[in-house]
Structure 1
Amino acid sequence: MNRALSQRATPYWLTGPALLVFLGLVVIPLVMTVLLSFYDWGQYKGIVPEFTLKNFHEIFTDSYFFEIFLRTFRIAVLVTLFCMLIGVPEAYILNRMSPAWRGICLLAIIGPLLVSVVARTLGWALLLGSTGLVNQGLMAAGLIHAPLEFMFTETGVVVALIHVLIPFMILAVWASLQRLDPQIENAALSLGAGRLTIWRRVILPQIVPGMLSGGIIVFALAASAFASPAIIGGRRLKVASTLAYDEFLNTLNWPLGAAVAVLLLAALVAITVGSNRLIERRYAQVFE
C-alpha cells in the first residue's frame, strides 16, 4: 500500500520544484501586477491600495495611449510579415541543402541568438545612423544624396527586430518541412506540375502550420520587445513596453504602468489563443 502511494506521489515530487519556481517567478508577479493596475495613484499621495478603474479608463479614453498601442501592433505585424517573406524561402532552401552545408547555415542562423539583444541592437544603431555604414554605402553608390532617417523611426525598429526574430521563423518553418516527404515533389513533377504550382499547391499548404507557429512567436516577441525599440526608437518613438517602463521608472505611476502591461499581455494572449485555434484546424485539415 505504501509502495503504491509512493509511486503515485513520485510525479508530484519531481514536478514540485519546477512548479514552485514557476509560481514564484511567473504567476505571483503577474497576479501582483494585475492587482497593482487597479490601485490609485497621485503625485503627492503616491500609490493608494484601493480599487479603481481610473487607470484603464485613462488608457481607453486618451488617444495618446491608443496611438502607442496601434504603433506597437503595427510594428509587430510588419516584423511578422517580413520575417515570413524572408524566412520561408530561406527555410526551404535550408531544407534542400546537403547535410554539411545545412549545418553551416544553421550555425549562421542560430549564431546571432547567442549574442545579447542589446549588443545586436547597438550594432544596428551604428549601422543605421546618419553617418553609419548603410547611409554611407548608399551615398557612395549614388543612390541617395542625403542620409536617410533610420534612427528614431519605425523603419529602423522594424529592421532591428527582423534581424533579432527571423531565426524563430526559419526554425519553425524548417521543422514543418522536416515532415514533408521529398518524393511528393518528384511525384508532382512526374505528373507535369511546374515548380511554382508545386510550391503553391503541394508545399505551401503543408508548411502553413509552421508559418503560423513562427508567426505567433515572432508577433508576440515583437509586440513585447523592449531593447530594440528603446535603443533604435528612442524616447520619441514609444511602444507599449517602453511606455510601461517610463510609467514605472520616470513618472513613478506604477498603477498606470501596470495597467499598460496588463492590457498588452491580455491582447497577446487573445491573439495567441486565437491563432492556436487556427493552427489546430489547419493541422486537422492537413493530416485528415
Structure 2
Amino acid sequence: MSLFAAMRQGGRGYLLSMPAIVLFSCLLILPLVLTLVLSFNVFDYQLGVKGGEFTLAQYVSLFSDSYFYEIFFRTIWISAVVTLLCVVIGVPEAYILSRMGTPWRSIFLILILTPLLISVVVRAFGWSLLLGADGLVNQAIQALGGRPVKLLYTSFAVIIALVHVMLPFMIIPVWTSLQKLDPSAEQAALSLGASQANVMRLVVLPQVMPGVLSGTLIVFGLSASSFAIPGLLGGRRLKMVATVVYDQYLSELNWPMGAAIAVVLLVINLLVMLTWNRIVERRYKKTLGE
C-alpha cells in the first residue's frame, strides 16, 4: 500500500469518527469547559453572576475554609469504604456466578441487574423505610429486647445504600474477566497439589485484576459524585460534595462557587483514579512477570 493510499484510508477513518467526536465534545467536553469558566466568574449576592469578570475568589474561599475540607474528606473516605465493600462482596459473588450452570447463571445475572432498572431515589426511600426510627430494622431490634438505634442520617446509612446501588458495577466487570479465564488452568494447579486458596490467589485473582480495576474505578467515581443517596439518607448535617454543589446552585444561587467545588471534585477523582490505576497495573504486571 502506497503512502498516499495509507493517508487516504486514515483520513477516511477520521471522517467516519467525526460524528462521535462531535457528539462527545458537545455532551462532555463543552459542558466541562463552561463549568470551568463559570467557576472563575465574579459573583455578587445582589447582582448575581457577572459575566466577563473573572476572579479566584471561589477557589481561595474553597481552599481556606475547613468546612470544605471536612466535606471532601468525608466524601473520599465514604467512597473508599463503599469501593472496598463492593470488592469484598462483588468479587466472590462474580466468581460464584461464573461457576454456575444454566439456567441458574442467567437467573442470578438477571437478579443482579434488576436493581439497575429501579430509580436510585426509589431505592433510597426504601432504605429510609428500613433504617428509620420506626423502620423494620429497629422494630426487629426492639422485638429482641434492645433499644432503637439511630441508623438513618448517618454514615452507615449512606454507605450501605451506596453499596447496594454500586454492587452491580463491580460484579459485571469482574464476571466479564472471569469469562476469559480458562478453567483448565485451575484444574492443572489443583492437580499439581496447590490448595484452593493458592489457586485463587495465584491463578484466578491475577487474571481478574483488570475487571477489579474497572469495577473499583467505576464504583469510586460514582460514589464520590452521588447525590440522591447522600441527600436522602445523609440529611442536612451529613453532607457530601454533590449535596454541597446542589446547595450552592439552588439554595445560595452562587453558581461560580458550585462550579468551583464541582471542578475540584473532578480533579480529585481523576487523581485518585489515575493513581489507583497505576498501582494496580504495576502489581498486575509484576504478578504476571512482565
TM-score between the two structures when normalised by the length of structure 2: 0.91
Match of 2:109 among 100, 106, 125: 106
* Residue of structure 2 equivalent to 1:139: 142
| Partner Cα distance (2:213, 2:11) in 1 | 38
Q: Which runs of 5+ in 2 are unaligned?
A: none
Q: Deviations over 1:64-112 (max 9, x none)?
A: 0000000000110010011011111111111111131111110000111
Alignment of structure 1 residues 208-287 onto 2, 5 Å: 208-285=209-286, 286=288
Query: What's the % identity of the aligned pairs?
Result: 51
Q: Is the 8 A contact 1:175 1:210 kept in 2?
A: yes
Q: State which drifts further: 4-13 or 51-60.
A: 4-13
1:4–1:210 distance in 2 versus 1, CA, 3 Å: closer
1:114–1:43 distance in 2 versus 1, CA, 3 Å: same
* Residue of structure 2 equivalent to 1:83: 86
1:99 aligned counterpart, secondary structure: coil
| Partner Cα distance (1:202, 1:13) in 2 | 44
Q: State which drifts further: 14-23 or 195-204.
A: 14-23
Instruction: Please report how far the alpha carbon of residue 228 of structure 1 lies from its aligned counterpart in structure 2 after TM superposition.
Output: 0.7
1:183 aligned counterpart, secondary structure: helix
Alignment of structure 1 residues 62-211 onto 2, 5 Å: 62-142=65-145, 145-211=146-212
Q: Is the 8 A contact 1:83 1:165 kept in 2?
A: yes
Instruction: Please report how far the alpha carbon of residue 133 of structure 1 lies from its aligned counterpart in structure 2 after TM superposition.
Output: 1.4
Q: Which runs of 5+ in 1 are unaligned?
A: none
The two structures, once aligned, show a CA RMSD in angstroms of: 2.1
AA matched with 2:85: F
Q: Is the 8 A contact 2:141 2:147 kept in 1?
A: no
Q: Deviations over 1:92-149 (max 9, x none)?
A: 111111131111110000111111111111111111111111221233234xx22221
| Partner Cα distance (2:133, 2:38) in 1 | 42
The count of corresponding residues between Structure 1 and Structure 2 is: 284
Q: Is the 8 A contact 1:244 1:261 kept in 2?
A: yes
Q: Deviations over 1:178-223 (max 9, x none)?
A: 2222122222222222222222232222222321221111000000
Q: Deviations over 1:145-177 (max 9, x none)?
A: 222212111110001100000001111111221
AA matched with 1:18: A
Q: State which drifts further: 83-92 or 174-183.
A: 174-183
Instruction: Please report how far the alpha carbon of residue 279 of structure 1 lies from its aligned counterpart in structure 2 after TM superposition.
Output: 4.2
Q: State which drifts further: 177-186 or 216-225.
A: 177-186
